[in-house]
Amino acid sequence: MARHRGRIGPFPRWTLAVAAVVLVAAGAALWFVAAGRGTPASDARTPAGAGTHAPVSPSASPSGDCAAALVAKLTLEQQVGQLLMIGTPIGTPLNAVQAIQRYQLGGIFLAGRSTASAASLRQSIEQLQAAAAKSGLGLQIGVDQEGGQVQTLKGADFPAIPSAVNQAKLDDATLKANTAEWVGRLKAIGVTIDLAPVADVVPASVGKANPPIGGFDRQYGATPEPAAADVATVVTAMQGAGVLATLKHFPGLGRVRVNTDTSTGARDDITTADDPALQPFTSGIAAGSAAVMISSATYPKLDPANIAAFSEPIVTGLLRQKLGFDGLVLSDDLGAATAVASIPLGQRAVRFIKAGGDVALSVKLSDAGPWTEALVTAAKGDPAFAARVTESATRVVRAKLRAGLARCGT
């Protein structure tokens, strides 16, 4: 999220390396096992991240027919629940159990910072997954584990990760290996999606004057090409280690001069649909990134009337149609962010889904109820919006199949 927050020598040519996981059992159906359930518990003495981790499927739609069939069995309320990722304090994650059960939530964001052990976090995540068992669909469990000052999990089991600026100083092979090791620790406790990597380019002329990204060294580069190469490497390594990647913050926060989480008026008067600064996003998409997060800044050359999160020209027109991305589209925080404070709470989720988004994210657990009510009401009153809900719910389930959080067959 926007709140917190070089390659050396010649840049190696990178190629998309993707591993597919196919589990075949003669005469049996294909099963996808919810994270944290159905997998052997790690020995508490084994360092988190040790051992091997199955990569996520390289396809954004491993089984479209299966996803559609699963969504067809859901009630409207259950479909709406799949479109929400709601925050719970990572220090007290089980606070979310009641909301998960009441609103049949599809995702949980572990908010804040923690130095808890891998074993205790794994246990809590397993309990969160158990709370969602009734729907037959596992929870997407998300964290902000970028590195530098944006690292949700720290402590003995989660050593410090360098900022993106420093990660970019690593050669390609080292960056790939290190990313796999860092992400393996997330996979081992049941995290299924990392809200990373940052694909924003912060020009050298802006640098630290860019509060959300440059102020915290969250960018992989000051120019598009090296940043694009690093972003592709990180996406490939992350998903190869079994955790979904999220490119953020589309179409880029690297030129703004205020932070959308703490201020209004974040504005980029430069970005166009053919901007070279979009290259890290396009390279991350080409590398198979499961998700893209939309910023809450304004881009007048793309849509003068709306912030990106509420902009159909940006979400549907640019990201979906022009760039061809058909994976998960997440919002940046629409709960506590100052950029959206003037918008009625329930309408934030409705407007994001209407623009073409799939998963509305709030760091506030209390937003689950109002968002559910607003989305259900909008769908009941508008068949076109109800179709949008079903379309997004299907994308969410596709991502869950990819992450091992749903199953097909009987």
* Residue 384 reports pLDDT greater than 60: yes
Beta carbons of 48 and 153 less than 8 angstroms apart: no
135 — pLDDT class (breaks 50, 70, 90) = confident
**What's the average model confidence in pLDDT over 352-373?**
98
List 362's β-bridge partners, or say none. Answer: 86
Across the chain, mean pLDDT equals: 88
**What's the average model confidence in pLDDT over 221-243?**
98
| Backbone phi, psi, residue 266, to 5° | -65, 125
pLDDT of residue 47: 31
pLDDT of residue 56: 64
**What's the average model confidence in pLDDT over 384-401?**
98
Beta carbons of 180 and 172 less than 8 angstroms apart: no
DSSP state of 13: P
**What's the average model confidence in pLDDT over 134-146?**
94
Sheet with 84-89, strands from edge to edge, namely: 193-194, 140-143, 107-111, 84-89, 360-362
Residue whose tokens read 């396009």: 282
**What's the average model confidence in pLDDT over 382-406?**
97
pLDDT of residue 126: 98
64 — pLDDT class (breaks 50, 70, 90) = low
Distances (CA, A) of 389 to 78, 164, 215, 361: 10, 35, 37, 15
395 — pLDDT class (breaks 50, 70, 90) = very high
408 — pLDDT class (breaks 50, 70, 90) = confident
1 — pLDDT class (breaks 50, 70, 90) = low
CA distance 42 to 57: 23
pLDDT of residue 410: 41
Give residue-wise pLDDT tens across range 272-325: 999 999 999 999 999 999 999 999 999 999 999 999 999 999 999 999 999 999
52 — pLDDT class (breaks 50, 70, 90) = very low
Judged by average pLDDT, the poorest of 34-43, 48-57, 273-282, 352-361 is 34-43
Query: Terminal CA-to-CA distance of the chain, rounded, Å?
Result: 39
23/302: higher pLDDT? 302
pLDDT of residue 32: 32
Beta carbons of 316 and 265 less than 8 angstroms apart: no
pLDDT of residue 57: 55
* Residue 4 reports pLDDT greater than 90: no
Residue whose tokens read 């990647």: 245
